[in-house]
Structure 1
Amino acid sequence: MLLMESYMCYCSVRLGVIIVSVLAIIRELSFSITLFALGVKVFEPFIDLLEHDAEYKDRKWVRKYISWCENDPEVLTAVSQIILYVHSGAAILSIYGAIKLRKWFLLPLAFCEFVYLIQITFLHIVLMIMLKKQINLGLLIILTLLGCFYILFVGYNACTCVAMFQIIGLVKSERYRELYGDDPFHPLAMRSTRPKDSERPLHVLRMHDMHDTNIDEEKRLSKLGLWPRRQPPVVSVLPVQAAYPQPQLKWWQQQARSTGDDHQPDPSVYRNWHTKELLNGVGGDVQRKSELNRRYAESQMHRWY
């Protein structure tokens, strides 16, 4: 799994390694020039803090460091300059490795950045412990936050070098070359259609073969527009409508089609009468009206349809 895919959420990891290398070169050369100009006087403020601190002035490593600065300033300056130029050389190698995609050229800068991370973290802790007795609380909080942010930034830069090492190993792998070609700067999935590319035979998946499960190849061909996308079946859920729908009947047409079967007969009207007698006008207005409507509807049905 890659540590990161972009640097500062905007730049590529390759560009991020170049930025880290340039910042490291500027930082190391600035401190080297200062050390050439002032010598071991650069360390005097830190030595003064150590000598006047009751907690650290009697430590063994503190006494060795102070005696080294006082007795052998030339050796201390030479060692410091060597460390600074080694770090700068590792940054130059990282720039070359990022441009040419040589992953082993990135490891020196990653190692130097991790060493610098440990060094700056230890120095920040010691300084905050010593300064808490000499400055007010507000300034101490500000310095602590600034130091923590700088430590996180240095650690992020070191992780960037490791991430670029992983990315180069990925693009140089056999599986990546099979899918995207030998040129990582112009992968096959992003190339424009050219005659020389069209002449190259493409691997077509056989969906009837259950053992052909190369999903990566299917994704690559889908991006190129060469993989046939299957259209989903369309199922209609609407009711079937007639080609010539029947017109909506008017109220008088619906009344003409009514046969009177839905009306409940009144027993008091035709209890002593026959049905035909009722239709001839003796009684039963409902039955007579319904029968007339039914006859009218049958004779006029062909006019409505």
Structure 2
Amino acid sequence: MECNFGLNYGTQGDNLPTPDKGLNPLRQVVWRLRLFSPDRAILNYLNSSDSGIVVLSIGTFNEEIEKIAVDQNYANSWVQQNIVPFSEIIFSHIVVGNEVIPGPIGNFVIQAMINMEKAIKECTTHDIYVTTTVSMNVLGTSYPPSAGAFGEDSMTVMRGVVHFLQTRGYPLFLNVYPYFAYANNPAEIRLDYALFNTTDIVVQDGDLQYRNLFYAMVDSVIWAVEKAEGPNVEIVVSETGWPSAGNGDITTVEHARMYVNNLITTQMKSGTPKRPQHAMKTHIFAMYNENLKPEGVERNFGIYHPDLSEVYHVDWPKWTGRCNLENM
């Protein structure tokens, strides 16, 4: 499982280090990296022999989705510009959009994924998975986890997305934030349950027992995906984290450190109660505190300050050599 952890590399800051300096401390601890959109400086560095990063997920801009969906040439050009020149990078996933379902842009996601898949096959020899990223907002029901189901406003699109992923063996990317669930409902959600900091069984759902909110949230989406005829669709956690400032006593450095380290420790032991044997790939959000994001918690999800000092320490599991790439 040690090869299943990675980081989101956000770039919304005017004081961030160059990629060679920023990625160097992570050479032996972070195996996966996620870029929200193509960034030439980062891609050029990752394409060098010195980066140490093994696999990369790369996203499209949300405003590109409609163009990709209606114009195969645009999809081909996207791959030619952002994938083909970087032959030393192992691209694991192209992520068509971030949290656009439900919504008007979401209606273009399925065709955009189809066109992107065609572009990969036409323009490269790479085996790259195509997916999209969703948030918990695609659910109409999430509690208890076994009741998880897509909402009316997302059901039609998500059934199409799930069918695409199921028939091709591609995963669904999911952003999971127990912090926001707790912050929005502290009267009914226990803080220790959100922070992986209890051994109590907090939720009993049939035969399944939940000791942390993260696994309950993920399993609710797995149930929804299975009900949409996607029994074999893998869930990849594309974002999760806890802010270290911005919302009083809820957002402290200690809480952020506790959340991320407990997450890693928990996932090193097993998968979710619904899929206990499944080693879930997880990307921590985020590498840096980004000062161009909206004020408040959004600026404070970083593990590192822009000067590369730690906001808090993460006990990354060490890996040596190249991990097995058969299941990217």
Asked if Structure 1 and Structure 2 have the same fold, meaning a TM-score greater than 0.5 normalized by the shorter chain, the answer is no
Structure whose alpha-carbon radius of gyration is higher: 1
Higher relative contact order (CA closer than 8 Å, sequence separation 6+):
2
TM-score normalised by L of structure 2: 0.18
- Higher share of residues assigned helix: 1
